[in-house]
Amino acid sequence: MEDEPTVDLKKERELAAAIKQLPQQTESSRDLWPEIAARLPKQDTKVYTPRWIPWSIAATLAISFSSAFYSWKNLQTAQRVYADSQRVLSAKQVIPLQIKAMELEYGLAKSALITQIGLNSSHTNSDLLSEVKSHLLIIEQATKELKAAIVKQPDNPGLPKLLKATYQQELTVLSQLAKLNQDVFSEEKI
């Protein structure tokens, strides 16, 4: 076996007791700082600022401001594109609603005229009725074609106007037939 240090427990206890009896803080009998300062080398301390630091700060600020500016410009462009797309989208949604409203208004007027014509149809010339029906079929076919064209070209503002004019033309034909029937019926009563 190698030489192992032997531990004397009695000496260890005496040492621990002596340490406990020492004061927690002690003051030096003399000031040590002047000796420490004398040993330090005599050099003037200079604040060293590398030459590239002001340039890096300027470049960082330039990059920050330019990225903020371009972000702002891109936001403006995105908002403008979004607003334009909403306008186009709303126009595409408004046109079918306008057509439905037009059809409803036209349907009410047409049903009133057809009811009036139906009441007096026994007094109307059959040749005249067949001719009016052929004209109404032509107008109805034109109406269907206009509706299909509006679905294909919703941006064309002339098509809804043309559809409205076609509805007006059909109502005019029906109104004239109703008036003619009314006049014939009135003459027969007299």
Tens digit of each residue's pLDDT (9 = 90 or more) over 32-75: 888 888 888 777 767 777 888 888 899 999 998 988 888 888 88
Query: Rounded to an integer, what distance in angstroms lies between the CA atom of residue 99 and that of residue 53?
Result: 69
What is the average per-residue pLDDT within 14-27? 87
What is the average per-residue pLDDT within 126-134? 80
Query: 117-149 b/e with 16+ CB inside 10 Å = b?
Result: beebeebbeeeeeeebeeebeebeeebeebbee
Please determine, for residue 119, whether its predicted confidence score (pLDDT) is greater than 70: no
What is the average per-residue pLDDT within 152-178? 86
What is the average per-residue pLDDT within 18-22? 89
Q: What is the pLDDT of residue 104?
A: 84
Show me where the domains of the chain are located.
91-189
pTM of the predicted model as reported, rounded to 2 decimal places: 0.48
Query: Rounded to an integer, what distance in angstroms lies between the CA atom of residue 177 and that of residue 132?
Result: 8
**What confidence tier does 188 reach under pLDDT thresholds 50, 70, 90?**
low
**What confidence tier does 17 reach under pLDDT thresholds 50, 70, 90?**
very high
Please determine, for residue 4, whether its predicted confidence score (pLDDT) is greater than 90: no
% of the chain residues with pLDDT over 90: 9
% of the chain residues with pLDDT over 70: 83
Instruction: Transcribe 69-85 into DSSP letters.
Output: HHHHHHHHHHHHHHHHH
User: Which comes out higher in pLDDT, residue 95 or 24?
Assistant: 24
Q: What is the pLDDT of residue 147?
A: 87
pLDDT, mean over the chain? 80
